Each structure stands twice: as C-alpha cells, then as structure tokens.
C-alpha cells in the first residue's frame, strides 16, 4: 500500500554490474511505495547486470552516471550488495567520493550484504556499529567498526543488514531513517 513517508525525498542507489538482484530491487520498490524519487546511479550508463547469487539475473537501467550525479541532489543513498558490485565500486574514485559526500553531510545511508565494502573505502565506518555479510566482519573491524551479527543495525543514520533474508527489516528501517533525514 503506497504511503507518503518519503514524499519529496530523492534517493540514489549506487550500483554497477554484479549487484545482488533482490538487494537492489526490493529497496527500490519499498522506497517508491513510500513516495521517494529513486535513481540508479552507476559508473557507466545504459544498463547494469544483476545477479542471483552466482547466476546472472536481470539487467536494470541506469538513471544517471556518476559523472552526471551530484550527492547534493539526493537526500539518502542505498548500497546494494552482491560480491562483484561493491568490489568494483571500491576501485572507482568517483564512487568513493560520491559515498563519502553522503557521510560527510550526515545524510542517511543504507547498505546491505557486501555493500559496506564501499563504505570502508569512503572512510565512513570508523566508530560505527554495523553488520554485513559475515565475510566482511574482519574488514569492517580493521577499518574501526564494531561488527555485530544482527538482522538490521542502525548507527546515527547508517542502516546495515546482512543478507537477502534481512530485506523486510532492512527496508522498513531504511524508510524510517530516510524519513528522519540528516543526523
């Protein structure tokens, strides 16, 4: 059922080829149902390739390239997982700067599964309590985060979850934090 919790809010979903299909599509669907304007932002235009774990999934159109995107134009950002997606994004300086701009402006950030990898490179995890796919535990701790194994964790506008099974809690909490605005 549509609602207006996020009416007037514009949300970036930063992803590239190799994103986990449901970790992009379910949050986008939830955000749109809450009234947000959502744009998929990627290093390249056209379409990006989704994955269902190890198998190729559907292509998703890119709304705006990183070169065309300005973090100041968005109220919040979503970082979907999938192993390939965030690993590629961490090597794109424009992607790291884009994510860092949200962190520095205290805008809400939602990252699921492997998505927090990008936050490490953006230097946005030190002192944060968060979760992720289990294989990122040591990476996050080495970057100064407190890693916990919980369905969804919120730390001052940063929403993190572990895996696709956590999507219902992740999406609900993401909407709450995005509605609250900057922290």
Instruction: State the helix-helix crossing angle for 21-33 and 167-180, rounded to 10 degrees.
Output: 50
- Check if 171 is active-site: no
Instruction: Enumerate the β-bridge partners of residue 41.
Output: 14, 64
Number of H helices, E strands in the chain: 6, 12
Catalytic residue among 53, 114, 171, 183: 114
Task: Give the torsion sign (CA, 96, 30, 147, 108).
Answer: positive
Catalytic residue among 44, 53, 113, 171: 113
- Check if 113 is active-site: yes
Residues tagged active-site = 113-114
């Amino acid at each position: 059922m549509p609602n207006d919790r996020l009416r007037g809010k514009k949300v970036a979903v930063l992803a590239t080829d190799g994103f986990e299909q449901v970790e992009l599509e379910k949050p986008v669907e939830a955000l749109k149902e809450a009234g947000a304007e959502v744009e998929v932002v990627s290093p390249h235009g056209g379409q990006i390739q989704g994955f269902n774990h190890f198998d190729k999934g559907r292509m998703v159109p890119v709304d705006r390239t990183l070169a065309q995107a300005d973090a100041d134009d968005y109220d919040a950002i979503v970082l979907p997982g999938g192993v390939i997606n965030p690993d590629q994004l961490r090597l794109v300086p424009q992607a790291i700067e884009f994510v860092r701009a949200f962190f520095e402006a205290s805008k809400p950030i939602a990252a699921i599964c492997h998505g927090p990898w990008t936050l490490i490179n953006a230097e946005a995890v030190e002192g944060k309590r968060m979760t992720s796919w289990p294989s990122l535990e040591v990476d996050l701790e080495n970057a100064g985060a407190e890693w916990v194994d919980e369905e969804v964790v919120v730390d001052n506008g940063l929403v993190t979850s572990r895996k696709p099974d956590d999507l219902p809690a992740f999406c609900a909490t993401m909407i709450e934090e995005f509605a609250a605005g900057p922290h």
